[in-house]
Amino acid sequence: MMENKKINPRTGLLVLFILIVGTLRVLNSGELTPFSNFTPIGAMALFGGAYFSDKWKAYLFPLLALWLSDVVMMQFVYKSDLSGLLYRGWYYNYIAFAGMVLIGQWIHKITVMKFILGAVGAALFHWIVSDFGVWMSGGTNILTGQPFTRDFNGYLQCLDLAIPYLQRMLLGNIMYGAIMFGTYELIKRKYPTLAYANA
């Protein structure tokens, strides 16, 4: 007779955190506003990387939450930008996101300084990689209404115009990250077994 495998409480709690954050991202979506890109998604990548001891889970659960929230938003909020199931150049964003999980793995032993450096590094990495995708995919320069030129200058213009999004991503990483990391650390203090269980 097969034994029933119990769900590891640490894994269950980490997945719950990620599901909540993915849901918040969908609820926060809508038209472009001064708060565009101020989302918990970067903090979710850092959190998954920092707390899942199984590397495959560190990538699977945050990337799955990103994908599910992307699908929902593209089908119901940003339908005009739809290109297939997702948006044009989505894979650059997912590469950036996987890199953010990797940065989260670096901050595995949590300190305030490592968290801040991780939040900054993740925002910068996302900015460089995702805007490379915008530039490569023929993104439009909002100042000229024309596609960015296919040279280094065009890429620099793309990065320059994305600085406000970088700033909001960084703010989201720090604020949502402080809530996620802080809450989990407080729960770990109350339930010390969560600190040692594999996830």
Paired with 140 in beta bridges are 147
| Average pLDDT for 14-43 | 73
- Between 148 and 12, where is the model more confident? 148
Largest CA-CA distance found in the chain, in angstroms, rounded: 69
Compute how many other C-beta atoms are within 10 angstroms of the C-beta atom of residue 166: 18
pLDDT at 3: 47
Average pLDDT over every residue of 168-186: 93
User: b/e per residue, 99-122, with b = 16+ CB within 10 A?
Assistant: bbbbbbbebeebeeeebeebbebb
Q: How far apart are CA 134 and CA 18, in angstroms?
A: 26
pLDDT of 190 above 60: yes
One-letter amino acid identity for 36?
Answer: S
* Contact indicator for 50, 185 with CB cutoff of 8 Å: no
Instruction: pLDDT band for 132, please (50, 70, 90 cuts).
Output: very high
Span 151-161, pLDDT tens digits: 999 999 999 99
Segment 129-138 shows an average pLDDT of: 93
Least Cα distance to 106 among 152, 163, 48 occurs for 48
Residues 6 or more apart in contact with residue 12 via CB below 8 angstroms: none
Residue 76 has pLDDT above 50, yes or no: yes
pTM recorded for the entire structure: 0.83
- Reading the block at residue 68, the tokens are 């599910």
For residue 98, what pLDDT is reported? Answer: 97
pLDDT at site 74 = 80
Check if the beta carbon of residue 24 is closer than 8 Å to that of residue 155.
Answer: no
